[in-house]
Chains A and B, each alone.
Chain A
Amino acid sequence: MPELTEPEPTKPELAQTERYGASASEISSQTVLFVTVEEYLEVANAAREDGFDQLIDLTAVDYLDYPGTRVRPAEVKPERFEVVVQLINHTSRERLGLRVQVPATEPTAPSLFDLWPGSENLEREVFDMFGIEFAEHPDMSRILMPEDWIGHPLRKDFAVGEVPVQFSEASAPR
């Protein structure tokens, strides 16, 4: 078992510190680009042009009560939400991560639907669970929770077991 120390962000290859104009880092042997909401679509576009033809995963993390500071490159301004995207380039058999800093005050990010239509359900899930809206998404609605549910369960301020089950159209007592 290794010592429980803060891991240093490993220094990526010099050529990879900048990629598509975003700061890159190496996280568990994968190249990860850190982008702001504004840069997001541009970087995603560049990656798509570059041959990253499959969006393999899209999810989010709520860093509301993460203890201490996150391991991020110095120039990245951490926000509450981080959208985690993973792409595959089937030609070079390479994976690329994107981490989008989404502020809590305005949880909105552009949708990747026009680049990778496979993002449709994944973005709906992130909206459902974290309340991050994806602009220009063809159908920004809940997917797992009932349509009239209030709250976003995977947010850290959505407590486990404290919310009564919400039934729509609850009938009158018999």
Chain B
Amino acid sequence: MTAERVMRRGNDSAVLRLSEAEAARIGGDASDPDDDERVMLNMGPAHPSTHGVLRLMLEMEGETVLRSKPVIGYLHTGMEKQGENLTYLQGCTNVTRMDYASPLFSELAFSLTTEKLLGVEVPERATWIRMLMCELNRISSHLLFLATNGIDLGAVSMMIYGWREREEVLRFFEKVTGLRMNHNYIRPGGVAADLHDGWQGDLSELLELIEPRLDEYEVLMTGQPIWRERLQGVGAINADEAIALSATGPLLRSTGYAWDLRRDEPYLAYDEVDFDVIVGTYGDCYDRYAIRINEIRESMRIVEQVIDRMPRGDYRMQDKKVTPPPRLRIDESMEALIHHFKIFTEGYQVPRGEAYTAVESPRGELGVYIVSDGTSTPYRMRVRPPSFINLQTLPHLMRGGLIADGVAIISSVDPILGEVDR
């Protein structure tokens, strides 16, 4: 195996290194005036299969994609800059809007980094609630992948099924966090609220519902010759190339390389639960599909274990400098009122220093790097966005394939444009 293919700089590279202005000047003409077989084709940013506002500049020869360039930035709203002006408490509302399909992971990474800087430990129950919610979020995110992957390949009923089951998970989220998306639930110091009474029952029902539905998906897609034909051998990449391109998550695991931060650099309480790291073999679109459907099953295994072993105790740390006091205390204690006021106006100061924490999001390594200058807002807040970095593999996956396969490939990389552009 070699990564030579992805190291190329010149015209034989899969990456089209052409500015937008230059592409606009060329228009639909050939990128090489001597070669009238090649045309430039623009796809997106509003194409239904581009998962948001991804635009692709494609150099085509007939139906075959030669070089391509993802043009991004349409959703760029300066969230990292914004993060420098929000307190650590407000920070979670900001980062949760990046990857809107799996918001809890950005909240988790942000909270873990802040806690590392503060040097505090959260109660055990908070850790387990975080783990539970994140695994449920992984299920909902992968269900969304199955839905969009289905519609991109013409399996329209799969889209309806995927959204339907995801909605059931979101319903549980709404019960716990109050919101379907952008929860702002995991916060530095713990979580925003305890689980409601009877959450175990709700979850058991949910798992019982999803389990047979997954088997239905397998019947509908996994074994179907048309589905396999469309995906197998399409957009293949080897482990060396994936590592060289900084890819993480299902994209890296599909090549047969087992790298999962939950197992390899355990955070939360992942070292106390049983689960398998799913890997593929060929690194093609089919493996990336199969990994995600099996990861749903693994996440369900973790959720089952959490239901049985959820510890008792506080759902957030009782340090009134970091977490607000309970509402009722404010009426009777002057100190509680002051703490409440201080936390929501000025925020809490975080000691000087810098820290980086990474979690395994459904798309790969999601890391948050914070530089603190000792005030209540981060000096610099950086999110390592897995979608943005995994998107680099796209031209390499698409080169030499048909444009129809390109749609399958974009879908299998599963970029969330909110996180790509931030």
Residues of A within 8 A of B (CB): 1-2, 4-7, 27-28, 30, 53-57, 59, 61-62, 66-68, 71, 84, 86, 90, 93, 97, 113-114, 116-122, 125, 129, 138-139, 141-148, 153-154, 158, 160
Q: How far, in Å, is B120 (CB) from chain A's closest CB?
A: 7
Q: Are B76 and A121 in contact (CB under 8 A)?
A: no
Q: Does B42 contact A (CB under 8 A)?
A: no
| A59 partner residues in chain B, CB cutoff 8 A | 369, 382, 384
Q: Are B353 and A7 in contact (CB under 8 A)?
A: yes
4 pairs of A and B residues whose beta carbons are closest in the complex? A118-B246, A139-B17, A144-B73, A28-B355
Give me 15 other A-B pairs in contact (C-beta within 8 A), A28-B353, A53-B243, A121-B391 excluded. Answer: A7-B351, A28-B116, A56-B367, A61-B379, A67-B373, A84-B369, A86-B356, A90-B243, A90-B259, A93-B264, A118-B246, A121-B392, A143-B73, A144-B76, A153-B78
| B352 partner residues in chain A, CB cutoff 8 A | 6-7, 68, 71
Q: How far, in Å, is B243 (CB) from chain A's closest CB?
A: 5
- Chain B 369-382, CB within 8 Å of chain A: the 1/0 string? 10101100001101
Q: Are B384 and A57 in contact (CB under 8 A)?
A: yes
Q: Are B118 and A2 in contact (CB under 8 A)?
A: yes
| A129 partner residues in chain B, CB cutoff 8 A | 80
| A153 partner residues in chain B, CB cutoff 8 A | 78, 81
- Chain B 256-286, CB within 8 Å of chain A: the 1/0 string? 0001000011000000000000000000000
CA distance A54 to B198 in the complex (A): 45
Q: Are A145 and B73 in contact (CB under 8 A)?
A: yes
Known A-B contacts A121-B392, A147-B20; A154 and B80 likewise in contact (beta carbons under 8 Å): yes
Pairs A–B under 8 Å by Cβ, sample size 9 = A1-B118, A1-B348, A55-B246, A56-B358, A93-B265, A113-B9, A117-B7, A144-B76, A146-B73
CA distance A82 to B21 in the complex (A): 31
Partner of A141, one of B19, B244, B391: B19
CA distance A92 to B326 in the complex (A): 46
CA distance A86 to B72 in the complex (A): 24
CA distance A160 to B358 in the complex (A): 28
Q: Does B389 contact A (CB under 8 A)?
A: yes
Residues of B within 8 A of A (CB): 3, 6-7, 9, 13, 15, 17, 19-21, 72-73, 76, 78, 80-82, 85, 116-120, 243-248, 259, 264-265, 319, 321-322, 348-349, 351-356, 358, 365, 367, 369, 371, 373-374, 379-380, 382, 384, 388-389, 391-392, 421-422
Q: Are A57 and B367 in contact (CB under 8 A)?
A: yes
CA distance A28 to B118 in the complex (A): 11
Known A-B contacts A117-B3, A118-B245, A121-B391; A154 and B81 likewise in contact (beta carbons under 8 Å): yes
Question: Closest chain B residue to A57 by CB distance?
Answer: B384
Known A-B contacts A61-B380, A66-B373, A117-B245; A27 and B354 likewise in contact (beta carbons under 8 Å): yes
| A27 partner residues in chain B, CB cutoff 8 A | 353-355
